Structure formats: structure tokens, C-alpha cells
Chains A and B, each alone.
Chain A
Amino acid sequence: MRLEHWFYTVPLRLRSLFWRAQVEAELDEELRYHLERQIEVNIAAGMSAEEARYAALRAMHGLDQRKEECRDMRRLNFVDNLWRDSRYAIRQLGKNPGFACTAIFVLTLGTSAAIVILGFADAALLKPLPYRDQSRLVAVFESSPRNARSIVSYLDFTDWKNLNNVFSSIDAFALNGGFTLMTSTGAESVPGTRVSAGFFHTLGVTPLLGRDFKPDEDSPGATRTIIISYAAWQRRFSAREDALGQTVTLNGTSSTIIGVLPPDFHFAPFGGAEFWTTLRSTDPCEKQRGCHNLMTIGRLKDEVSIQNAAADMQLIAQQLSKDYPDSNRDFGAATLVPLRDVIVGDVRPVLLILLSGAGLLLLIAYVNVTTLLLLRSDKRGREIAVRGAVGASTARLFQQFAIEGLVLAAVGGLFGLVFAEWGMRFLARLIPGDKLASMPYFRDLGLNISTIGFSCFISVLGGLLFAIIPIARTSLSQIRTGLKEGSRGNAGITWRRLGSKLVVLEVAVAIVLMVGAGLLGKSLYQLLHVDTGFRTDHLALLSLTWPPASYGKDQQKIVLEREVMSRISSLPGVESVAVSLTSPVGPAWGSSNLHVVGQPIQGEHNEVLHRQVSSAYFTTLQARLLSGRYFADNEDASKPLVAIVNRTLAKKYFSGADALGKQIYYDWQPQLPIQIVGVVDDLKEGPLEGEALPVLYVPFEQKPVAGFAVLVRTSQAEALLLPNMISTIHAIDPLISISNSQTMTERINQSPSAYLHRSAAWVVGAFAAAAFLLSIVGLYGVVAYSTSQRTQEIGVRMALGAQRRNVYQLILSEAGRLTAMGVVLGLGCSLAAARLLRTMLFGVSTWDAPTLLAVPVVLVISALLASCIPARRAGSVNPVEALRSE
């Protein structure tokens, strides 16, 4: 039946579509035939020719409407109209470039923001991790009353492995990663870690090349084998297949490469890991049950739920805590967390907040465009009425509106996609490399099926919204009456009120975000320009460490230090060279307990940072000496022990009295008093944004350390000096491994606090810019709409003698009222929001007057500029025309 049906209908449809002219002609002829016959009958009944014709036409109830119905019945209208309406819609947009550009700009802004954030959320929260059956993977932690997610000791891990009944496999990786790799140019620190032999099997990852670890390859006697990451294979082995079987020296042991991981593999806890070797309990930590250094990952058996597994692990942990009370007394519990949560845990709340922000922007964008469309549909009242009168059905008008809305939304969505792609790449580049390594799922961000699908979805949704609202506004009755009078429906007033409220809200949101962005931007600036106590430009840095076996004796370290300094100072452009335990502006590590000789010890802990520095340290940094002297070149262990303290230490532990000449002693040398020979102004030895810390400087040669930072002041571009410094050091000893080679400017810009401030300022700033633009467009839309609704009123006013100036005043005061309400609301909320931001602010108070003043001023000026357009339009209303149209 169906088939036979099609046999008849398909050719008809095709004919209707492609031989349209012929079908139209036939329709004309058919109806003409009918009319002629009817006229003949009417004349026969005694009417005049003219009367007969009218009667026949009347009986048709409108010839053109009937023709349109016939076309509808042939279903050709739908496709045909779709095409025609799209062209018409595009032509309409082209005729009104101001409207088209504004609407498309607003839509692009809204959709691209939403797509960018969704892209990030999709990459982190939705896209499957590159492991087989990832929902069955859990991370298993030991739990103590203090810490539910404690890492695991090797012996506990082996017991778990043997005792559990719930995992098809459970494996571990060491958290203290990193290796020293011997390369042709010298030793290099490379990221990597040690894993138990079944690690990749548990994750369900098969090497791209070569093989996985064999089950017994993590036993102490097995030959050393390594699996390398795809990136390492590309970079270090030029993607050659013969990389397999090659031997490399990792941490002084030669190991054979047996596999290469697939390109899409990533593992966030060791995002940048290049080398994976086996855990073989050689680390001293792994011989003690109390030493926790592993994280474990289990694959649940098919029929086991995470709750059941947790219950089983709980029993095992309790048993172990009974069996080994010395080490496990506190660890009588275990916690199971889905692996995905461990991997993306940190970013989830941030992304959800951003997602709601982007959703809000999108909503505001859509509301704004709807207001603009209403404004336009009002101006097109006549056109719609005419179309209705000449035979367009309501459905047909609806279709026309829907198409216009969809065209607009589609163009906006398309631009949104393009900008989103660009925006995602831009934002991903803002994430510094080490940060990106811990969030490897952001590695290849970009458009994919889900983001494109999402943008199609929101465009269709937006298109429907754009269609429905103007249609609801332009009710059917208006089409009828629109020919005669410019009527004002209730819908118009409702929308005007709703629109005003939304604009107040938009302005308030923009104010809050702009104040936030202003405060964050200002604190970023303050942070990057914080007084470090030294000159930060033209300073090159690197850190070096060496294998524990070499340079074991103090004298060897001193020889190395002198050699490094003398060789580097002979490099071209070098002004001075110094060494320190670690470079300034960094984590506040290397602290110790200090006592002042002569002061009673009451068990207090006087924590200070200690820095072993060479004599040229302060002159190289260009620090400010407050009193006393710097270290001399020859102050080594044979000379009396000396120290320099900073201003904060002097103030804190000598309560303002002169610290110079006083004696102190230190935790590691409690019997040996040290004389303070100098006081320097505070240098930023700790983190950029922290308070000044008490710091004790001692001569490197009196207390040499295993590894130090080299600081070089140069007269040339400091970045160009770094490669020379590295090769110079490797020329001394290729086994020395070098890390953190950077300039001081880079170090400050890339410091974690600068990163945090910068990303916060960028994100909030981007949202603020979007919210600002949207609120201005929204304000324009609402004011222009209400002006167009008040054209007659304005005409009356002008007819009664109102000047153009008064009209401007009328319109601008409405805009001013809305803006003022938004600004007041926004400022109120900003103060509350700034309090939430307090911990993120640096050198800026939440009551920062310049920001709180500048933001409203910028917004008010822009708002008034935007409302000048409708005000000018209103001022040029011709009162006669306005009144006549009533």
C-alpha cells in the first residue's frame, strides 16, 4: 500500500517542485475555467456581465487566498517558502546593517562565550578519559582521622593487592617523580615516574609500539625497562621505530626502552611524564610500612559496586591496622574515589561557575536581540499588515518570522563557533606549560561534535525565541487593524516593563564584573610591580643539582661553586655572578629554628628562612644594605662564623634593637654562635605575594649545600645568556643536572601567584567586557523600543510646544534612570562580591575608590552615548506625521 501510494505521489511532488511554472499555469487555467463557467451560469440567470463576474469571484471567497491554499495542499509551499523567506530575511538584514551588525555581534559574543566555556567543561567533565572502561577505575586511599585521602605505603599496597576480592587488578604509582636523564649534552631533569608492572594494564592502555611491562618486571632483580610517552618518542627519538630496544641512562642506571604510549594517552597526576619505569621497592621509603609515597588505582570487578569495594577495603585496612599497630594505628580505613574525580576534581567547581556565568551571558544576549527584534517588528507593522491583507496566512507570517529569527541565530551561531575556536586556543595558550601538564585533558581543545552540536542547539532555541516573541507581540488582530492605525498592544507594554527590569539587572551584573575585573587587574599589576628589594631586570637564573655520589664533601662543593662562578663570569656581558640555596621569588622552603645568644630558651620556635649565599649575592641582586657589611670573598669555614639578617628578622627577633654585632645560633649548629655582621633590606626570598619573611644569610663556603641556584647580572639580553650558562656548566661536569633556567622577569611572571592573578583577571575581565557590551546594547534596545512606542506621545508634546531639547531630556532621563538603578544595585553587589574576592586581592582594598568610581563613570557615559541614538530619532519626530498616524 505505502509503496503503491508513493508510486503515485512521488512524481507529483517532484513535478510540483521542479515544473513550478507549469503547475502554476495549470492552477490559473483551472480556476479561470471554473470562473468562466460560473459567469456563464450567472448570466443565464439574468445578471449583467459585471454582476456575474463579481458573484462568481465572491463565491470563491478570495481568489488569491484559494490559490495559496491550493499551493499549500501541494506541499510545495513549505520548501519554496523556506528558500524564499531565507533570501528575504537576508535581504532584510542587509537593508538594515545597523540592526544586523548589532544583533549578530551580540549573538556572537553570547554564543562564543558559551561555547568556549562549554568546550573546556566538555574536555574536563564529559569527554571520556583515554582509558578502557574508565567508569570502573577508582583511586584507593588510606584514611586516617586527619586525612581521608592519604597516599599509601608500598607494603600496605602489596597487602591490599593480595587480600582484596573486589578489584580485578590494583596498581600503584610513585608520587615522587622525576628522573635525571643522561643526554649527549649532559644530565637533564626529565619528568616521569615509577609504576607497578600492571599499571597500564589496569588503566586499559596498550602501548602504541612495543609492549607493556611484564608482571614480574617490578621485582628488584628484573632488568630495568622503561616505557616512554608519545611526546618523548617524537622529541627525543625523532619518532624512529628503532627507539625500541635502545638503552638510556636514567638516574644513573641503564634501562631499555620497551614501549611507546599512544598519542592520546594522558595521566593528570603526571601530566608531562615522559619516562615510565617500574617500581621495584628499592627506595628506602618502600621498605617501611609507615612511609607513604604511592597512589593506587584499582579496576573494579564487573559485578562489584564502588560501595561494596569500599566495604571490603575497609575490612582490610582495619585488619592491617590491628596487625601493624606501630605504623597503621591511625590508618584503619580506606577511601575509594572514582578516578575521574581525582583527575578533574579541582577544576569541576570552577568550570561549573564559569558555565553558569556563560549561560547568563547567553541569556542576556538573547533577551537583547529579542528586544531589538521587537523594535524592528514594530517598525514593520505596516509591512506585516500588507502581507496579511494580500493573502499571507498567519502560519505563513509565523514562518517568515521564524525564518528571520533562525537566520539571525544561525549567523550568530556560526560566528560564535569561529570565535569560540579562536578563543579556546587563545585561552589554552594562557595556561602555562606546567599547569597544562597537570590538566592534560585541555591539551587539544577545539571544536568537536559536542560543541558544534551545542551551538546548533542554542541557535535553534534562540531562533525560536526570536520568532515567538515578535509573533506574540504582533497578534492576529493587529494584522487586521494595522492597515488603518498604529495600535499599541498590551504585550508591548509588558515587554517594555520586563525589558527595563532586565536592563537594570544587566547593568548591575556588568558593574559587578567590571569592578571585579578592575580590582583583579589592579592587583595583578601591583603584584608584578611589587617591591622585591632588588633589580629584577637583566638577571638570569638557573638551579643545579648533582648525583649524590659526586661532590659529597664540603670542599668539593666549594670547588664546584668557585669553578661555576669563575667560568660564568668570563662569559661575554656578565657583570657579576652569585649563588644561593635557591633563587629569590619562589616557595618559602629552607627554613630553620634560630636562637639569640643570651636570650632564655622557652621552647619557642623562631622560624626563619636560611639562604647560603656567595659573597657577591647582594651586589649582584643590587640589594640595599641597611647597616654593617656584606660577606667577604674569603669567608670560609676557617674564618669566624658570620651571618647577615634582613630587616624583618632584625625587627622580629631583636625587637627593634640593633641586630648588628649580636650572636645567634642555629638548629644545625647549636654549639656554634654566629656573629651578625650586616642587616639588609627585605628581599623577596619567598612567594611574590606573601608578607616579608625573616631571612638569615650565611656564607655558602661556611655551610655548603648539595645543589644551588646561580644568579647572573648581565648587561645584555638575559634570556640569550641562558644557553651559554647551561653549556658552560655541562662543560664542567656533564652529570650536573640543570633546571629552572629562566630570567627573573619570567620567574616573576610565571610565579604561581602571578599565574593565579593573571588567569582570574583575564577570565573576569573577559566576562566583564562581554557583560558591559551586552548591557549597553540592552539599554539601547529598551530605550529605543520605548521611544518607538511613545512616538505619538512625543508628537503631542511637540505639537503642544515641547522643544527638541525637552524631548532629548525625556528620553535621556529614562535611560539615565535605568542606568542609575543598575549602577546603584551593581555597586551594592560589587562591595559584597569584592569581599568574596578579598583573598585574591593584592595591594588593593575592596573599597578601592578609583575602581569604584571609574567603572560607573565608564558605564554611564557609554549608556548615555547609546541612548543618544533613540533620543535623536525622537527629537526629529515630525509632530504632524506622528499625530496623523494615530
Chain B
Amino acid sequence: MSKPTDLVQGTLDLLILKILALEPLHGWAIGQRLKQVSGDTLQVSDGSLYPALHKLEQEGWIKAEWKPSENNRRAKFYTLTRPGRKELEREAANWNRLSTAISLVVQLKET
């Protein structure tokens, strides 16, 4: 299936936004970066990446432009927009709240 089953629903958006906040990248590079930073823990299928990118673009959070890539071929580079940055802040805050809460629960001592 295309859905990253081991990825919390909606988290992929957050990851993409965060990666693009650092620098504009094209799709393949975003996939590589994801594998790289998470050390293969986050298995994001190549297939699910593009629909997510198109959704974010359609929402106006990232925008795309065609530029020559590092191997000098035309590639579609995505950049974070201003509303995208705000969205990232919101999503990140959400994630922090959620993960703190979950880790608190997980750390409960069994008696």
C-alpha cells in the first residue's frame, strides 16, 4: 500500500514542511533527506511522497518552480511559502504537545 503505515497520519506533511524550511528541494531529494535524517526509521514510500507534495502545493503551503538540479537537469523544486511557515509552526506545536503527552503515558510505571 502507498500509505506509510508506520507513520502517524498527517506526520508526513510536517516532515516535508520542516525539511523544506531548511532549503528548497525537489521530490527525489526530499525522499533522500527523509531517509538520511531519520536513519531509515521512517520508511516513506516514494509513491506516497508525491501526492503529499501536490496536496501541500495545492493548499498554498509550498510552491514549486522548475530549476536546474545538481546534476544539471530540469527538476521541480519546492519552497516553503509564508502561510506554509505558519502551518509548520502550528503543526510542530501540535506534534510537540502530542508526543509529550504520549511519552508521559508510555513512561507510566507499572506497579
Contact = CB atoms under 8 A, between A and B. Distances in A.
A59 B47 contact: yes
A30 B75 CA distance: 7
Interface stretch (A5-13, A397-405, A835-843): A5-13
Nearest to A69: B51
A8 B60 contact: yes
A59 B51 contact: no
A115 B73 CA distance: 65
B45 A34 contact: no
Interface in B8-56: 26-28, 31, 45-47, 50-52, 54-55
A209 B102 CA distance: 80
Contact of B76 (A5, A16, A30): A30
Given A5-B60, A13-B58, A61-B1, A29 B74 contact: yes
A30 B47 contact: no
Interface string A8-26: 1100110010000000001
Contact of A69 (B2, B66, B86): B2
A720 interface: no
B1, B54, B58, B75 pick with most chain A CB within 10 angstroms: B54
A75 interface: yes
B89 interface: no
B28 A8 contact: no
A1 B87 CA distance: 11
Interface residues of A, number: 33
A667 interface: no
A37 interface: yes
A565 to B, nearest CB: 95
Interface in A33-84: 33-34, 36-38, 56, 59-62, 65-66, 69-70, 72-75
Q: Which secondary structure dominates chain A's binding surface? A: helix
A8 B81 contact: yes
A9 B60 contact: yes
A629 B19 CA distance: 121
Q: How many B residues are at the interface, by size bracket?
A: 20 to 34
B75 A74 contact: no
A289 B55 CA distance: 85
Nearest to B50: A70
B54 A74 contact: yes
A571 interface: no
B28 A59 contact: no
Nearest to B31: A34
A33 B58 contact: no
Nearest to A65: B2
B83 A33 contact: no
Contacts of B31: 34
Contact of B46 (A5, A13, A16, A34): A34
Given A9-B58, A29-B76, A60 B46 contact: yes
A377 B79 CA distance: 47
A59 B46 contact: yes
B26, B47, B55 pick with most chain A CB within 10 angstroms: B47
A28 to B, nearest CB: 11
Interface string B61-94: 0010010010101111000011100100000000
A315 interface: no
B76 A1 contact: no
B55 A73 contact: yes
Nearest to A7: B60
A31 interface: yes
A776 B50 CA distance: 54
B96 to A, nearest CB: 22
Nearest to B2: A61
A12 to B, nearest CB: 6
Contact of A66 (B47, B60, B75): B47
A60 B54 contact: no
A30 B60 contact: no
A12 B76 contact: no
B46 A33 contact: no
B27 A66 contact: no
B27, B50, B81 pick with most chain A CB within 10 angstroms: B50
A13 B23 CA distance: 25
A169 B111 CA distance: 84
A465 to B, nearest CB: 32
B54 A1 contact: no
Contact of A33 (B1, B59, B75): B75
A1 B83 CA distance: 8
Contacts of B83: 1, 4-5, 8
A70 B27 contact: no
Contacts of B66: 26
Contacts of B86: 1
A34 B46 CA distance: 9
Contacts of B82: 4
B2 A73 contact: no
A56 B2 CA distance: 14
B8 to A, nearest CB: 19
B1 A12 contact: no
Contacts of A26: 66, 76
A8 B63 contact: yes
A752 to B, nearest CB: 71
Contact of B59 (A9, A38, A56, A60): A9
Contacts of B59: 5, 9
B76 A33 contact: yes
A12 B57 contact: yes
B21 to A, nearest CB: 17
Contact of A73 (B58, B60, B74): B58
Nearest to A37: B28
A728 B73 CA distance: 107
B90 to A, nearest CB: 11
Contacts of B46: 34, 38, 56, 59-60
Contact of B27 (A1, A30, A56, A75): A30
A62 B28 contact: no
Contacts of B81: 8
A73 B12 CA distance: 15
A12 B59 CA distance: 9
Contacts of A75: 58
Contacts of A61: 1-2, 45, 47
Contacts of B60: 5-9, 12
Contacts of A60: 45-47
A66 B73 contact: no
B26 A66 contact: no
A769 to B, nearest CB: 54
25 contacts: A7-B60, A9-B60, A16-B58, A26-B66, A29-B76, A30-B50, A30-B76, A33-B28, A33-B73, A33-B74, A33-B75, A33-B76, A37-B28, A59-B45, A60-B46, A61-B1, A61-B45, A66-B2, A66-B50, A69-B50, A70-B50, A70-B54, A72-B51, A73-B51, A73-B58
Which 9 pairs, one residue from A and one from B, show the smallest C-beta to C-beta distance?
Answer: A8-B60, A69-B51, A73-B55, A73-B54, A61-B47, A9-B60, A37-B28, A60-B47, A70-B54
